[in-house]
Amino acid sequence: MLDIDLQWAIEPQSIPTLEQCKKWVGISLQDDLAYQEVEMVVRIVDPQESQDLNRDYRGKDKSTNVLSFPFEQPPGLLELGEELPYLGDLVICAEVVEKEAHEQGKPLEAHWAHMIVHGTLHLQGYDHIEERDAEEMESLEKEIMQRLGYADPYEQDNS
């Protein structure tokens, strides 16, 4: 079961819908997570909230497309053999996503899907700091986006 709390900190828009988020997150869950109960938050924010969080948690004083905050299981629960189904939080700046889609010649829906796929992979421990890890993550993103029916997210002007 996938439980997503879609939060709009700005005026709600037509994209993404809760159904789209569930589809995009669901297909992004890897290994055993695809068959387990998973809970997470997708919060859509303005540039100021994105910038504040990016500055406070990543040391970068600018708004960004997506921030991922993986949930860390409390040690006491793990020692008891218990685990909460919470994956973490995605914070996505709608204005940045729209601007990037326009600048890169991508359909808005496809770019939203990519941001949620990308962020969901981060919540599962994937990253792109080291080149080898980046290649693995990008390959997985391309595969997921293709399964969703979207073009390669790393190609320019794929409208």
Binding residues: 118, 122, 128
Cα R_g (the chain), whole angstroms: 16
Residue type, 107: P
Give the residue numbers of the binding site for Zn(2+).
118, 122, 128
Give, in degrees to the nearest 5, the angle at Cα 3 between 56 and 154: 60
Nearest to 54 by CA among 44, 67, 41: 67
CB atoms within 10 A of CB 46: 15
SS (HEC) of 31-91 = HHHHHCCEEEEEEEECHHHHHHHHHHHHCCCCCCCEEEEECCCCHHHHHCCCCCCEEEEEE
Nearest to 38 by CA among 134, 123, 98: 123
